[in-house]
Chain A
Amino acid sequence: MLRVLVWLAAVVAGGALGLGSALYMAGLWPEGRSLAFGNVDVDGWRGDFATGSEAADPYTRARVARHGLLALAKTEAVYLTRNTDSAGKRLSADCTYRLTGGAMAAGWWSVTLYDAHSMLPANTGGALSIDASRMGAGAWEAVIAPERPADAAHWISSRNAGAFDLTLRLYMPEPALLEAPGRTLAAPRLERLSCGKDAA
């Protein structure tokens, strides 16, 4: 009887170990580990240029299926995400941030805010992203805060977002960006301005 129980325990433990390790290595478990991966890192913006392609390894495919379903392959669009500010601190709806940047090596770009479940946060501000068509060709600046700042021309609402992240979409990327993203992409900078009661 004991012998049967030992074998049964080994099989159950093996199944749990295999499933847990697969989910962990694919960044699916525990929640929030998906950004620990990727083969591209430009100033804290991380992505995986294998997204959407048949060449992606099984870990990438599983992760993209969960967090980036229906994403395009890199020749059409690349996706870079960050969940920390430029000082490395976790992004939070309790804080106010300044996002600055300029032209990027792509036909069109946007920055969109998502909550910890990879969904748009439940607010009605109508300000969940900025994009190239609104920000112009030169240097630009936007504020990320739960409420619209009185003196900001461009605002991304973090209301009800909790611990959020930002996704930078680069559509029609230039070939040089795909070959050497670190040298080609002038990635937006994200500076924390204030937190808590001091937040705008």
Chain B
Amino acid sequence: MKRWLGPLAALLVVAAATHSAALHFAPAFIMSRAMDALAARGVALHRFTTPARITPQTQTVVRSSPDLYYALCRFDLSNPGVQLDVRIGDWPDYQSLSFFAAQTDNFATIRGTGRAVAVRLLPPGSAPEAGAIVSPTAKGVILIRRLAPSAERFAAAAAAGKADRCRIEWRERMAAPAEG
């Protein structure tokens, strides 16, 4: 009997470790694959991609809504000296700007119904700043949603989207101490 205790203990330890590891890595793994799929379908890095209206033929992400205009921007803030300048144009109906980390968390959402929005996205570990959001992970995706349940509203949303921006830029240097 005793000779089975060691293998049994190993089985339980490996099972527990595999269970935890699978859950821990699954979201980031799935997100990484989704990001790769988005990149393969033309979703740009540091630029909002002009979307096609969601149909069975154009869908790329699970459970997309055919009533919404989606514009995606992938980001990579691995360089701590950069930031992302993110802007969305004015839209009279519902619109929002949502930020997703590499492990799928929706770490920030700004509602912009009836107004334009401008915000900066800073690399992980950055000090908080007014008008800026600190990303918890270097990589992620930003998503604009606009309510556009008809072909006409979608065309109008796409026109509003010409004012959208997702642009990487160098952060301004700290001001030098005043002389004298």
Contacts and interface: CB of A to CB of B under 8 A. Distances in A.
Given A22-B23, A58-B24, A129-B65, A108 B106 contact: no
B26 A65 contact: yes
Contact of B31 (A54, A59, A68, A69): A69
DSSP class of A's interface residues: helix, strand, loop or mixed?
Answer: mixed
Interface in A150-190: 167, 169, 171-172
A118 B62 contact: yes
Nearest to A75: B109
Contact of B14 (A11, A123, A128, A169): A11
A131 interface: yes
B10 interface: yes
Interface string B1-28: 0011011101111111111111110110
B64 interface: yes
A42 interface: no
B67 A131 contact: yes
Contacts of A86: none
A58 B27 CA distance: 9
Interface residues of A, number: 60
Interface stretch (A13-21, A89-97, A138-146, A191-199): A13-21
A80 to B, nearest CB: 12
B105 to A, nearest CB: 5
B7 A121 contact: no
B166 to A, nearest CB: 15
A52 B63 contact: no
Contacts of B55: 120, 126
A22 B24 CA distance: 10
A169 B66 CA distance: 12
B23 A10 contact: no
B23 A62 contact: yes
A58 B94 CA distance: 31
Interface in A87-133: 107-108, 110, 112, 114, 117-124, 126, 128-129, 131, 133
A67 B7 contact: no
A61 interface: yes
B134 to A, nearest CB: 14
Nearest to B143: A70
A32 B4 CA distance: 37
24 contacts: A7-B6, A11-B11, A13-B11, A14-B13, A18-B20, A22-B18, A22-B26, A26-B26, A52-B104, A53-B105, A53-B106, A61-B26, A62-B23, A65-B26, A68-B62, A70-B104, A72-B96, A76-B98, A76-B106, A76-B109, A119-B62, A122-B56, A129-B66, A167-B63
Pairs of residues from A and B, 9 with the lowest C-beta to C-beta distance, nearest first: A18-B18, A14-B14, A52-B106, A10-B7, A22-B22, A18-B19, A18-B15, A58-B23, A118-B62
